[in-house]
Amino acid sequence: MSIQVTPTALSDVKLIEPKVFGDARGFFFESFNAREFETQVQPGVEFVQDNHSRSVKGVLRGMHYQIEHAQGKLVRVVEGAVFDVAVDMRRSSPTFGKWTGVELSADNHKQLWIPPGFAHGFVVLSDAAQFQYKTTDFWYPEYERCLLWDDPAVGVAWPIDFEPTLAAKDAAGKSLSEAECYD
């Protein structure tokens, strides 16, 4: 197998570590293999969209989710490093309102699978970062919601010692008690 899959503190969110083949010329790894994803990560997933963003140090994007047309996301970093976070937004889940986070970087090649039903966001730790991700549904701006990135009820321990740069929609995120959630 070319990937190692490890559940995070939220067992539905999975850390994926590909086998990287490297030598003096550089490296090679499979960034996605549908068969392995189906058998080791999540069966029945179909990705419909790929997204790519670039951000500078201190930018925090998130915590985004779609209340309808919920998106699963397979995320990775191809330049730089980020701290990536998922928050369980499913009221019926025993981990509702809990979070997990992991550093993703171009150097460690790790990926994170965030299934539908979770808010997602990241903060850039390096001078710049390019972030790529696959989604299981299309973006519908009318259904996009934003959980407040620093909601004390969730308590994400962002590994930063600075005030992050936020988009207006992220700064206006809702607290968990006010946010629309999944059943």
The domain spanning residue 106 has which CATH number? 2.60.120.10
Q: Domain for residue 121, yes or no?
A: yes
Catalytic residue among 109, 120, 133, 140: 133
Neighbours of 127 (CB within 10 A): 11
Q: Domain for residue 102, yes or no?
A: yes
Domain hosting residue 89, numbered range: 47-171
Tell me the torsion sign for CA atoms 123, 51, 74, 2: negative
**pLDDT of the residue at 29:** 87
Q: Domain for residue 142, yes or no?
A: yes
Q: Domain for residue 22, yes or no?
A: no
Tokens 């519908």: give the residue.
Answer: 140
The answer to whether 133 is a known catalytic residue is: yes
Q: Domain for residue 21, yes or no?
A: no
**pLDDT of the residue at 173:** 98
Q: Domain for residue 35, yes or no?
A: no
Q: Domain for residue 103, yes or no?
A: yes
**pLDDT of the residue at 1:** 58
Residues of the chain with pLDDT under 70: 1
Q: Domain for residue 156, yes or no?
A: yes
CB 84 within 8 A of CB 10: no
3-class DSSP state of 141: helix
Catalytic residue among 64, 65, 109, 120: 64
- Total domains in the fold of the chain: 1
Name every residue whose Cβ is closer than 8 Å to that of residue 25 and which is 6 or more positions away in sequence: none
